Amino acid sequence: MSQEENIIKVGAHLRNPVSRRVFMQLAAAAGISVPAGLSMGGFGNGAMAATKKAATLVATPANDYWAAFIKGFKATSAALGTEQIELYHDNDAAREISQVRGLPTQGANMLINTVIAAGEVPMIAKLCQENQIYYTAVWEIPAWFTPSDVGDYFVNYMTANSVDAGYQVAKELFKSIGGEGEVVHIKGLAAPTDDARTAGVVKAAAEFPGIKLVGNPRGDWVREKARTVMLSMVTAYPNMKAVFGQNDSMALGALSVLKERNMTHVKVAGIDGLSESLQEVAKGEQYVATNTSLAPYQAGFAAVTLFDALAGWKPTLAERLLYTGSLTATAETAASIDQKVYQSAELPFDFKKMSRTLNPDNWDPQNNIYPIDPTTQWAGQEGEDKLNAAYRDASWKAEFDAVTKLYADHYKSGPFK
């Protein structure tokens, strides 16, 4: 046995997480290549189960949406007794990949990640698979790419139904202006979620022949960028009756420009359900509606799913692509949603009760969860021939229906039941 093999053998018997971490750092400094199982701190299933450390990697805590997401992640970690790591990529792809590469040395065995662009998901999923890190991707994923293309450690992909969110909010906006007039449409970054929300807006516009969508500038999901583009929109479309922002940050940026110019007759709507936007909607004035994807819930449900996977739960094919329920808030409901999700000291979810492994018979998702059919989700987009063959199997439709019913049957409680 070589000297390097002897060193690795010694490391394999370390059980203390601090000792393992120091061992990994010294091994790296010495140029010793440690197998993935050791770098994970796994050392067999027993030790893997003993150390539960979840990481979340999102854009920035300065954004209200991600701050709420982290709030849900922290609450779930506390409820499940898992260690936690908070990471922020600040919309820097190189930083994001570097942080994922560094997870093994931190002892992480679970990752919840929202990428900058969908194209990063395959690389991150591959890194997690190689390092035995259970992974859930939230919001973005390339069309026709699925967890089954990677392996068991890519547990699932979750997102709100963005087509439906765009459709529901746009209908409320169009109704508020009598179903006719110019509506400035501000898009986010070019990504699948943005495309889906646009599809929902276009679907709603088709039901209102008097509506004309105009502008279509990109605010890149950022309030200040939306303010800049809105300054040009008020000049280009002085007769506009409404503004649809693809997220609340952009809608709020547009709203500030309108207020500065006393254009209070122009209605506004957005998506994300930030506390600030919910408060604006509750006033019943200019901000007509928003859709909340319940950011704390999204993070919490993802964390529970990874916790269960680490404990041995195996998702079915239909559970590896999931929609998480969202709510469209209007003046009648916005204040109540804001109170429950943002203003209360504690989140209104029992995260332990969501766990399939802690509650095998009476687990409760506490929200409307249902599977995604990839042929519907990505209909009309190129690359359908790349879809994993498992989704073409004769049993797929029956499994899809069974999982839809399973989650509906177990949805017994929750703040928005």
Cα angle 217, 222, 224; round to 5? 85
For residue 12, count CB atoms less than 10 angstroms from its CB and return exposed for 0-12, middle for 13-18, buried for 19 or more.
middle
Q: What is the DSSP letter of 7?
A: H
What pLDDT shows up at residue 3?
57
Tens digit of each residue's pLDDT, the chain (417 residues) = 555 555 555 555 554 555 555 666 666 666 665 554 454 443 334 334 458 999 999 999 988 889 999 999 999 999 999 999 999 999 999 999 999 999 999 999 999 999 999 999 999 999 999 999 999 999 999 999 999 999 999 999 999 999 999 999 999 999 999 999 999 999 998 888 999 999 999 999 999 999 999 999 999 999 999 999 999 999 999 999 999 999 999 999 999 999 999 999 999 999 999 999 999 999 999 999 999 999 999 999 999 999 999 999 999 999 999 999 999 999 999 999 999 988 988 999 999 999 999 999 999 999 999 999 999 999 989 999 999 999 999 999 999 999 999 999 999 999 998
Output the 3-class SS for 22-43.
Answer: HHHHHHHHCCCCCCHHHHCCCC
What is the reported pTM? 0.84
Phi first, then psi, for residue 44 (nearest 5°) are 95, 160
Quote the pLDDT of residue 29. Answer: 63
* 178 vs 275: CA distance, rounded Å: 27
The pLDDT score that the predictor gives to residue 47 is 39
Predicted confidence (pLDDT) per residue in 290-343, tens digit: 999 999 999 999 999 999 999 999 999 999 999 999 999 999 999 999 999 889
* Per-residue pLDDT, 36: 47
Question: What is the pLDDT, as a whole number, of residue 7?
Answer: 57
Residue 49 sits at the vertex; the CA angle it makes with 44 and 53, to the nearest 5 degrees, is 115
pLDDT tens figures, 40-98:
443 334 334 458 999 999 999 988 889 999 999 999 999 999 999 999 999 999 999 99
Domains and CATH numbers, the chain: 48-160+294-325+354-410 (3.40.50.2300), 163-292 (3.40.50.2300)
